[in-house]
Amino acid sequence: MDHSADAQRTDLMTITRFVLNEQSKHPESRGDFSILLSHIVLGCKFVCSAVNKAGLAKLIGLAGETNVQGEEQKKLDVLSNDVFIKALISSGRTCILVSEEDEEATFVEPSKRGKYCVVFDPLDGSSNIDCGVSIGTIFGIYLIKEDHEPTVEDVLQPGKNMLAAGYCMYGSSCTLVLSTGSGVNGFTLDPSLGEFILTHPDINIPKKGRIYSVSEGNAKNWDGPTTMYVENCKYPKDGSSPKSLRYIGSMVADVHRTLLYGGIFLYPADKKSPNGKLRVLYEVFPMSFLMEQAGGQAFTGNQRALDLVPKKLHERSPIFLGSYEDVEEIKALYSADEK
What is the model's pLDDT at position 126? 83
Give the span between the Cα atoms of 280 and 305, in whole angstroms.
9
Handedness of CA 108, 47, 155, 185 (dihedral sign): positive
Give the Cα-Cα-Cα angle 92, 316, 211 (nearest 5 degrees): 100
Rounded to whole angstroms, how far apart are CA atoms 277 and 267? Answer: 7
Give mean pLDDT in consecutive 10-residue pieces for the chain, a chain of 339 residues: 58 91 85 96 95 75 72 80 97 97 96 96 88 94 88 95 97 96 96 95 97 96 96 93 96 98 97 94 98 98 97 97 98 91
Q: What is the pLDDT of residue 288?
A: 98
Q: Which fold has domain 211-338?
A: D-Maltodextrin-Binding Protein; domain 2 (3.40.190)
Q: What is the CATH number of domain 10-200?
A: 3.30.540.10
Q: What are the domain boundaries of the chain?
A: 10-200, 211-338
Q: Strands (DSSP E) along the chain, which ranges?
A: 62-66, 72-74, 94-99, 106-107, 113-124, 135-143, 164-170, 174-179, 185-190, 195-200, 211-213, 244-245, 264-267, 278-279, 297-299, 316-317, 319-322
233: alpha, beta or left? (left if phi > 0; alpha if psi -120 to 50): alpha
pLDDT of residue 28: 82
Q: pTM for the full model?
A: 0.93
**pLDDT for 135:** 95
Q: What's the rounded Cα separation, in Å, for the pair 7 and 168? A: 28
Q: Which helix (H) or strand (E) holds 260?
A: helix 251-261
What is residue 129's predicted lDDT score, i.e. its pLDDT?
80
Closest CA to 265 of 204, 330, 311: 330
* R_g of the chain computed on alpha carbons: 20
